[in-house]
Amino acid sequence: MSVAVQLDCRVVTLEHYEEAIERMRLLPGGLPVTKTDDGIRVIEVWEAREADEGSAEARMMPAAPEVGLSARPSVQFFEVRTTSRVDDGGADR
């Protein structure tokens, strides 16, 4: 069963996140991220929980000290029963 992973990162700004993404040489726009009252929230969806087991944190943590971050994120998992996509009318056909 698919799983959503929610990472709540306190005392992290969107600018910190963007700099970490850049340092990891990842393409921007791959994951939903939003500002919260005390930091940011990142959401990932995986085909199975075993596929994630720390991978989100493992990818971000090496870049964290480079951008001045030390707090570990709060991680929650949610079962995802259905995913859907918007029919774009064949824009890429």
pTM, to two decimals: 0.69
Q: What is the token pair recorded at 15?
A: 């600018």
Domains: count for the chain: 1
33 CB-near residues (< 8 Å, 6+ apart):
14, 17, 40, 41, 42, 43
Average pLDDT of the chain, as a whole number = 78
Q: Is residue 37 part of a domain?
A: yes
Whether 16 and 66 have beta carbons less than 8 Å apart is answered as no
Q: Is residue 92 part of a domain?
A: no
55: domain range?
2-80
Q: Is residue 85 part of a domain?
A: no
Q: What is the token pair recorded at 55?
A: 């991978």
Q: Is residue 88 part of a domain?
A: no
- What is the per-residue pLDDT across 47-91, written as a single tens digit (0 to 9) for each? 777 665 556 566 666 767 777 676 778 889 999 887 677 777 766
Q: Is residue 47 part of a domain?
A: yes
Q: Is residue 13 part of a domain?
A: yes
